[in-house]
Amino acid sequence: MILIDANVNFPSTSLQNTLPNLDYLKVDSCIAGNVAILLFLVQNIKYLDIFIMDFPNLSQTFSTNNLKFPNLTYLKLKTDEIKWNFVKSLLQQCGERLQHLTFLGILS
């Protein structure tokens, strides 16, 4: 499944029911404020390719403490600019199955 940010802002009921059961998800663009919402819906994901854009406040962080990705084996994270604390927090939520990590962007 491929999503754009509008799907995250206004998810349909069928989309909300589908996301928890996905194995593969590619998000072409998601604004920073919607990342936590989206990731909460896809915690069983195995393959995630996501582009996070528009980080309006570089000191902004997100609480990912309640997120767990025990089945994630592939993560491709793309961004224009992002805080290292957010990336670190996201990686700490990944389970032991993570085998492939690609990061494209600028850490600040």
> In this predicted model, what pLDDT tens digit does every residue of 82-91 receive, in sequence order?
777 778 878 8
The residue with greater pLDDT, 103 or 8, is: 103
By C-alpha distance, which of 12, 58, 4 is closest to 31?
4
Phi then psi for residue 80, to 5 deg, are -75, -55
Phi then psi for residue 21, to 5 deg, are -105, 5
Domain residue ranges in the chain: 2-104
pTM here?
A: 0.76
- Indicate whether 99 pLDDT > 90: yes
What pLDDT, on the 0 to 100 scale, is given for residue 19?
Answer: 74
The residue with greater pLDDT, 104 or 81, is: 104
Quote the CA–CA distance of 33 and 45 in Å, as a whole number. Answer: 20
> In this predicted model, what pLDDT tens digit does every residue of 37-95 receive, in sequence order?
788 888 889 999 998 886 655 455 555 566 788 899 999 999 887 777 778 878 888 88
